[in-house]
Amino acid sequence: MSKTYGVVLIGCGHIGEAHISDIYFREEIRIVGVVDLNLDAAKLFARKYGAAYYDTDYHELIQRSDVDIVIIATYAHTHLPILKDCLAAGKHVLCEKPMTQADMQAAKEFHDLVKQAKTKVLIAHVLRHNDTYTKVRNMIREGAIGEVRFIRMVQNHHIMNPKRYGALLEDCPPIVDCGVHYIDVIRWFTGLEITSVGGLGTDIDGHGTNEFDHGILTMKLSNGGSAYYEAGWANNLAAENLKEFIGNKGRLRITLQENRKQDAEEGDLIEYYTHEDGKYTTINNPSKYKNMWGQLQTLIQMIETGEEGNPSFDEAFEAFMIALIGNEAAKQNKVIDLNYRWDHEF
């Protein structure tokens, strides 16, 4: 990496800060500008992270010749119009997941724009750049638990910031917003396809909207195994984080450092059990949960070498489409077969 890349961050909120706080001091990066509809937030980010410019409007900034990369860290419903403008300006893009709001037509338009673009686009599946997830993925692919038969994943939030989560809920339901990560994890870890998806959705806090604040996706895998993913943002949900992978020879479970009840200073916990010898193994694995710099390095590698991203755009798009179909399954309380093209009409 011989060049310094000029970066503009659009979105000075929670995830925007995760991005910029991990990249602003890197020798290869110059923060040209930060943008947010809240001028005070943009101004604060500019001061904290050394941005040369700040604004409430991104259009002028992305036209600058010293800007190479734009990070889109806004609400999902804004991703598509911002992407259009960035690609028209000839900029490379790191776009937060989900790539659009929970809308298939928007997703297809996003897909077509990326496929036709002359610049590079990486969708921010940050778990692909997490050392613990990579280690467990490699263990599974190397046969540590045999054939994967069942996957359990839960990501529930007991909300303490109703304004933030209310805005997120209006933008995208949790089984789509968070689900795209873990649908991708299933396929990345196992190499298997998801052949059908079902779902249940509940409005726990009584928002009275067409969306739900808690959902469960059930998935059938191409080897006959199954998986489920549960996600919710509600006042009365207990916070819970479960990631467990069960095969015909053993099982693996990931507990993040922040969720460990003891020995948290050792990093993330990987618990590994093998049935044949009845052996339990504890693996302590120091890892940065949101490795935003590793993610941006991947985009830079794509720019400099022409390589596919991690995940590739096709992998990210397929995970998103499965999440959207799962959301429809939850709304309709039915199982939907995935053995068809994405232009299937429900």
What does the pLDDT read at residue 342? Answer: 52
Q: Is 319 helix (H, G, I), strand (E, B) or coil?
A: helix
What is the phi/psi pair of residue 177, to 5°? Answer: -55, -50
Same domain, 194 and 224: yes
Same domain, 44 and 88: yes
Asked whether the beta carbons of 108 and 342 are under 8 A apart, the reply is yes
- Establish if 219 belongs to a structural domain: yes
Same domain, 94 and 104: yes
Same domain, 139 and 266: yes
What does the pLDDT read at residue 170? Answer: 81
Same domain, 272 and 163: yes
What does the pLDDT read at residue 161? Answer: 85
The alpha carbon of residue 175 and the mean position of all alpha carbons in its chain are separated, in whole angstroms, by: 12
Residues of the chain falling short of pLDDT 70: 1, 209-210, 340-346
Q: What is the C-alpha to C-alpha distance for residues 166 and 68, in angstroms, rounded to an integer?
A: 33
Amino acid at 199: G
Q: What is the CATH number of the domain that holds 43?
A: 3.40.50.720
Same domain, 218 and 256: yes
Question: Who contacts 299 (Cβ-Cβ below 8 Å, separation ≥6)?
Answer: 69, 92, 94, 120, 122, 309
8 closest CA partner among 57, 58, 48: 58
Q: What is the C-alpha to C-alpha distance for residues 175 and 315, in angstroms, rounded to an integer?
A: 18
- Establish if 344 belongs to a structural domain: no
What does the pLDDT read at residue 340? Answer: 54
- Establish if 241 belongs to a structural domain: yes
Same domain, 41 and 137: no
- Establish if 10 belongs to a structural domain: yes
Same domain, 134 and 278: yes
CA distances from 302 to 1, 22, 87, 200, 243 (A): 12, 19, 16, 38, 30
- Establish if 316 belongs to a structural domain: no
- Establish if 113 belongs to a structural domain: yes
Asked whether the beta carbons of 284 and 111 are under 8 A apart, the reply is no
What does the pLDDT read at residue 345? Answer: 44
**Number of domain units in the chain:** 2
Q: In this predicted model, what pLDDT tens digit does every residue of 7-48 receive, in sequence order?
A: 999 999 999 999 999 999 999 999 999 999 999 999 999 999
Q: What is the C-alpha to C-alpha distance for residues 141 and 133, in angstroms, rounded to an integer?
A: 12
Q: Is 115 exposed, middle or buried (0-12, 13-18, 19+ CB in 10 A)?
A: exposed
- Establish if 312 belongs to a structural domain: no
Same domain, 134 and 61: no
Using only C-alpha atoms, what is the Rg of the chain? 20
The token pair that represents 198 in the structure block: 């079902």
Q: What is the CATH number of the domain that holds 224?
A: 3.30.360.10
- Establish if 257 belongs to a structural domain: yes
Same domain, 76 and 175: no
Same domain, 282 and 300: no
| DSSP class per residue in 151-211 | EEEEEEEE-S-HHHHHHHHHH--HHHHTHHHHHHHHHHHH-PPEEEEEEEEE-TT---SSS
What does the pLDDT read at residue 209? Answer: 65
Query: Domain range spanning residue 66?
Result: 5-126+291-307
Q: Which helix (H) or strand (E) holds 271?
A: strand 268-274
Q: How many CA atoms, within 13 angstroms, populate the side-chain half-sphere of residue 119?
A: 20
Same domain, 220 and 255: yes
